[in-house]
Chain A
Amino acid sequence: MQIYLPIADLPVNIFMILAMGLAVGFISGMFGIGGGFLMTPLLIFLGITPAVAVASVTGHIAASSCSGAISYWRRRALDIPLACMLLAGGVLGTAFGVWLFTKLRAIGQLDLTIGLSYVLLLSIVGALMVAESVRAIIRSYKGKAVELRKSGAHTWFHGLPFKIRFKRSRIYVSAIPVWVIGFTIGFIGAVMGIGGGFLLVPMLIYLLRVPTATVIGTSMALTLLTMAFATVMHAATNQLVDAVLALILMVGGVIGAQFGTRAGQKISGERLRLLLGLLVLAVGLRFAFNLVLTPDELFTVRPLEGGP
């Protein structure tokens, strides 16, 4: 069944979009990520312009992280003060990201920026995650306990001022690195149309030493808040959010996320990180091939942004 998208200005198959929402939602629930880094390229592949895809996916991520965040909150696996502190940086980062997005669109280099950032970010983060989780799995095979939190192992930023105690996560850290992480995630999310969950989770685990128990719930709560903000910002400044497209994605996404969450709880933490790392790496390599391989068509035509 075809439906004409009012902002994207093209007809799409409603069941196809719904299925994409379901599949990406499943993955997002399983790994505690938004899944934007999968959804945005899929939509671009369908012929939706990158700008509309990025802007509409923010709404979809907000929905799937909302349903995830609620179920983690019920299980008391959500650190609200930590999410709020991250958000303080996230809002600034998002506003800056939407501003840069508008500028890049005006000079016509948005596609290249999105493409390059996908390659760099996904390949590096994917490779790091795979390496780390493989080490962890080998360690656990050898019978050694996997220890992410070494008590007393402090890094330099533990000496920074404005220390805050986050009770639920049982950590005591300075607010500055928390803000910086929030800002980075908000910024990347707005520019690339991704929630940044796959970046936030490792950052919280390795930099702030947040225990695995609360990390996914907290990440989802932050993703929900930054993406909700990004949706409003994109709608207000670029007017590119396709609400119809977003709604179809949302419906598929939230249902998929519920099943994904259950599937994720059956797999051990290291394996989950390995799978996620492989997935992230695969998407990164796919983008890298696109940039390196000779394209079939060297020319592209599109309306001049900002023109009449």
Chain B
Amino acid sequence: MRRHLFAAMAAAAMAALACAATPAAGERIIASLSNHRVMITPNFAGEELVLFGAIERDPNNPVRSGSYDILATVTGPRQNLVTFRKDRMLGIWVNVDSRVFENAPAYLTVLSTRPLDAIANAETLRRLQLGLDNVVLFQRAAVTIADSSRDDPFRLAFLKLRGERRLYQEQTNGVTFLTPSLYRASIPLPAEAPVGSYEIDVRLFVDGGQIARTTSAFEVYKFGFEQYVSSAAREHGVLYGLTTVVMALATGWLASIVFRRD
């Protein structure tokens, strides 16, 4: 495990060196994942992925006075999600109003070393769209499309409901430093996590300013039986339906044979 981890870290370091496009500031941040492919199998009940990496100091630069902070954002595949609001109409509760959140992430987790407002000021967080309060959610009501304001009731309800299903979350102690330059974080994936590709954006902050950034990604996909069934349903609908009917007839017939009394 340890060797595996170092090998992965070495690979990540090489990759980071290969595309050395970091800004003038000295530090560089490296990130890697315990697993880049998450399989959904019949006993899938969620998973924890480990994000780890290191901060490389620049030997030419003097040691900084401030401490490092890391903020990692995991963004799942994008979906159009509708939020409905119920209201009483003629005595019954019906969905009267709705907002479509266009291309909203189906999964969003923000992990950090400290509470976000301690890492950077509100203005910086808003500009970089960091944290659940600042993430841009495009809203469509009838014809206009605009970013929802932060205290919009639909947006608040959307964040709350997604949070209850653990699809959106913010963990302000989610990233821990093992040594002053080695960090580790675990990404909780609930069983409901949708299939698709997930992007990880890791940012390094010092004294309220971002000094380095790196990205990584992983994929959640259906495997084996799950993949077989869902692709059969999609691609051969009629055949799939007929198979289900044959299954129904077979179980019904079997039961009447097994439980036959006369």
Contact = CB atoms under 8 A, between A and B. Distances in A.
A63 B248 CA distance: 4
A7 B233 contact: yes
B146 interface: no
Interface stretch (B113-121, B154-162, B174-182): B154-162
Nearest to A308: B80
B82 A239 contact: no
A4 B42 contact: yes
Contact of B95 (A111, A237, A239): A111
Contact of A298 (B44, B45, B87, B227): B87
Contacts, number: 193
A62 interface: yes
B150 interface: no
B81 interface: yes
A244 interface: yes
Given A228-B245, A243-B244, A292-B91, A6 B222 contact: yes
Interface string B203-244: 000000000000000000010011101100110011011111
A11 B256 CA distance: 30
A10 B43 contact: no
A46 interface: no
A133 interface: no
Nearest to B259: A258
A301 B162 CA distance: 8
Contacts of B238: 232, 235-236
Nearest to B232: A243
A255 to B, nearest CB: 6
30 contacts: A4-B45, A6-B222, A7-B233, A11-B191, A59-B245, A63-B252, A65-B252, A67-B251, A68-B252, A231-B244, A231-B248, A235-B240, A237-B237, A246-B248, A255-B255, A297-B157, A298-B86, A298-B157, A299-B83, A299-B85, A299-B86, A299-B161, A300-B83, A300-B86, A301-B81, A301-B83, A301-B161, A301-B162, A307-B79, A308-B80
Interface of B: 40-45, 79-88, 91-95, 98, 100, 154, 157-158, 160-162, 191-192, 194-195, 222, 225-227, 229-230, 233-234, 237-238, 240-245, 247-249, 251-256, 259-260, 262
Given A258-B259, A299-B161, 7 more contacts: A67-B252, A69-B252, A232-B245, A239-B234, A298-B85, A299-B86, A300-B86
